[in-house]
Every structure is written in C-alpha cells, then in structure tokens.
Structure 1
Amino acid sequence: MEPAVLRDDMVDSLEHEAKAVVRSEQVGLAMREVPRHEFVDADRAAYADISHQEHGTRVLSPSEAARLLELVDVRPEHSVLVVGVGVGYTAAVLAEIVDARNVHAIDITRSLVYAARENLAAAGHDEVLVDCRDGADGFPEYAPYDRILLEAAAVRPPPALLDQLAPEGKLVLPQGNGTQRLTVVESGGDVEEHGTVAFAPLLVEGEQADAIERNRTAREDREHAKRAAQSRHGWERDWIDWDGV
C-alpha cells in the first residue's frame, strides 16, 4: 500500500472519536504530509499507532506525538524549539505548519542529532536547525521562542527554557515526580495540566547513553574526581524526574 494512503489511514484513526487526539485541521494536515517511514525503519509499521525504538531512543507513537502537537498549538508565524528531538518526527510535523527555518531542535545525544538531520532532510525539511546541546540549557542563540516543546520529563520546568520564551509563549512538557502529567506553562506563569504520560527523564551532559569518556592520565583522574564530587549530578537536579526511569 502506498505510504500516502497509510498516512491518511493513520490520521483518520487519530481523528476518530475513539481516539480523538488530532482535533485541529492544521495538525491533521501536517501529519498527513510528513513521511513517517523516513523516521521509523519499519515500513508499514511506521504508520501503526505504536512506539518504536530507533537509535537507542523511543520514538513516540502517532497518538503520543499528536497530543504534544495539539498542545503546542503553533501558528505559521511562530518560532519553535524542540528539546529532545530524537529522530526528528515531531520537528518535521511542526515544520509543515511553520516555516522550517523557524523550527530549531536540540538533543544531548550526538548520534540522534545526526539521525534527525538525515531524517528531516529525507522528509524535505533540511532547513530545520538541529544541534547537539544540553536540553536544560535550551538554545539561547535563537531565542526567544513562541513555543518550546520538551520531549523528556522534568520535575520542574528548566529555568533556562522559561527564560527563552517570548511574551505570550508556551512551554509544553511532561512534568511530575512519579506520576507525570502533560503540562503547558505560559510565559506569564499560568499552568495547565492535560492528562498523564510516561516519558524518559531529561538528561544532562555525561548521562546520555552513547557518552564516550576518553582515556585520562592519573592526574586528570584526580582532578575529574574532585570536580565530580563538587558538581550536581542529574538526579540531584529537582527539575528532572528520575522516578519514571
């Protein structure tokens, strides 16, 4: 069956009252345009409403992606930051709604950054800027953002991301300690919760799965140990939800 037909079937099921996770015309149209098979190496299964493992990360199911995309509520003139871009699918859907040059994305895992760039290019959105960054720090060079989508769990919104919101901007994130709730935080301070979710935690530098530590001299070992003893690990940062791991 042609991928376009499979995409239409996928979105039809997401719009149906049985799921009703796609509610807006703009999200429905964008998801019908993005070739999901470029992001999920599973042929027909790419359009099934299930999550996948790709490059060591979980790719959200179409239903999960749709929930995030509806809450982000972007407009064509918006500037958007995706934190924890993974393989790039949600960034591609956002690029169908806003100008791809106004979609910025970061991930702490370098191999995922390369994968997302390749996938986005294959899907026709090579103008989406993807960089390797610590998600908690955001991407200040291109701030402010009208919308920030955080695709990893945090106990509290990272302060840097709130600082990078434009006036009347919104941050969407899975938030909570133990039980996570999909949360919308507005730049003015208003907060809305929209049901439970289960996401992996937001990682900090050195905690990503593919981190490689080079060989060190004995002196460097001592200095490294001293710095490590004085620094705060990711699990000690109150805005990261480690209970859901």
Structure 2
Amino acid sequence: MDPAVLREDMVDGLVHESKGVLADESLAVAMRDVPRHEFVENESAAYADRAHECHGTRVLAPSTVARLLEALAPRRGDSVLVVGAGVGYTAAVLAELVGETNVHAVDIARPMVYEARANLERAGYGGVLVDCRDGARGLPAYAPFDRILLEAATVSPPRELLEQCREGGRIVYPRGAQPQRLEARRPDGTTERFGAVSFEPLLVDGEQVGAVERNRTAREDVEHATRRAQSRTGWEREWIEWEG
C-alpha cells in the first residue's frame, strides 16, 4: 500500500476520539509528511501504533511521539534539543515543525547516532544535527534552546539541561521511576503535568549498549560535589583564601 495512505490512516487514528492523543493541527500535518518507514525497517509495521526494537533501544509508538510533542508545544523557528535521538523519527517530525537546522539531537549510544543520521539523511532531513553525547550534559555549544525533550525518564531534569533552556522555554520529560508521568517544566520551576507514560531511565556514560562498565551515579556524584563546593562559606573559605 502507498506509504502516504498508511500515514493518513495512522494520523487519523491518533486524532480519533478513541485515542485522542493528537489535537494540534500543525503536528498532525508534520506526522502526515514524515516517511516513518524510513526509520522502521518493516514498512507495514512502521505505521502501526506500537513500539519497535532497534539496536537495543525502543522505537516509540506514533501515539507516544504525538503525546511528547503535544506537551513540548514547539513553534516555528524554535531551537530544539532532543535527548535520546533513537532512530531519529521524533527529530524528523520536529524538523517539519521548526525547521531542520533548528533541531539538535544527542544519544549516548554511538550505534544509534549512526542509525539516526543515516535515517534522517535518507528521509530528507540531513540538516538535523545528531551527536554522540551524554544527554544529561546537553549540547552547550548550541544552547540556549527554546525546547528540550527527554526521551528517557528522570526524577528531575539534570542541572545542565535546565541551564541550557532559554528563559520562557520548556523541558518535557517522563518524571519518576514507576509509575511515571509526563511533565513539562520551565526554567523558573513552574510545571505542567500530563498523563502516565513508561520510559527507560536516562543513561549516563558507561550504561549505553556495548559499554564495559555501568555506573549510574557518575553524574549525580559530579553534581553533588559541585553543589558542595559552591556551598562553602564562612571560616572555611576565608582560611583557604588566607592560605593562598
């Protein structure tokens, strides 16, 4: 069957009241335009509303992508960072919404970076930047961002991502362990909560597929040490300065 017809059916199903996960018209148009079969090997399965596995990671179901991007609420011209590039499909939909050169994506797993780059190039979104990075550290060279999307769960957004979000911007992430809820947070601390979701936790260096070591506390240790150093006041600081 013609992929364009399959895309129409997919989006119609997401808009229909039986699911009701897609209300934004510009997002609906974007999802109708992006050739999802370029990101999922099985063309017929690409437009089914279910998740897939690829290189040890989960390819989000179309309904999940719609929920994430409805919560993110990007606008044309926004600078967007996607943490967890995966196969690149979410970044491609964002490219339709904000312009491909405004979309930046990072993934901690190098094989997924190669996969996303190849998929995006083949689908016509070669202007999207995809880099291999620890997502918790963001992409400071291209900050600040108007919108930041985490496709991985965390108790709260990492400090460096909050610092890279522009004033008045928005970070969307699955909050908590289990159960999780989708949450949008602004740099001033205000939040908006959405429905329940289920995502894998945000990985740090050493946890990606193929890594030799796993150390979930690496990022937390660095942040704790930084906060502790910055909190020193009184005689401790004076004594250190006097010694210098």
Cα shift at 1:69? 0.9
Aligned partner of residue 46 in structure 2, secondary structure: helix
**Residue type matched to 1:12 in 2?**
D
User: Is 1:17 paired with 2:35?
Assistant: no
SS at match of 2:82: strand
- Per the TM alignment, residue 212 of structure 1 is displaced from its structure 2 partner at its CA by 5.1
Amino acid across the alignment from 1:135: G
Aligned residues, how many? Answer: 221
Task: Compute the RMSD of aligned alpha carbons.
Answer: 1.6
Output the CA distance in 2 between the equivalents of 1:236 and 1:210: 18
5 Å-filtered alignment, 1:41-60, equals: 41-60=41-60
Distance in 2 of aligned mates of 1:132 and 1:22: 31
Which residue of the partner structure matches residue 71 of structure 2? 71
What residue is the counterpart of 2:183 in the other structure?
183
Q: Which runs of 5+ in 1 are unaligned?
A: 214-227, 240-245
Query: Is 2:116–2:130's contact at 8 Å kept on the other side of the alignment?
Result: yes
Alignment partners' CA distance in 2, 1:194 and 1:112: 28
Matched with 2:209 is 209
Distance 1:114 1:212 in 2: 20
Post-superposition Cα deviations, 1:203-241, rounded to whole Å, max 9, x if no partner, equal 11111112258xxxxxxxxxxxxxx9xxxx3157669xx
Q: What is the alpha-carbon distance in structure 2 between the residues aligned to residue 116 and residue 236 of structure 1?
A: 26
Distance 2:155 2:177 in 1: 6
Shift of 1:189: 1.1
How far off its partner does 1:177 sit?
3.1
Kindly provide the amino acid, as one letter, of the partner of residue 216 in structure 2: G
| Gap runs ≥5 in structure 2 | 222-244
Give 2:216's aligned residue. Answer: 234
Show the counterpart of 1:118: 118
Percent identity of paired positions between Structure 1 and Structure 2: 58
1:96 and 2:96 are equivalent in the alignment: yes
TM-score (norm 1): 0.87
Residues 156, 238 of structure 1: 8 Å contact kept: no
Q: Output the TM-score relative to the length of structure 2.
A: 0.87
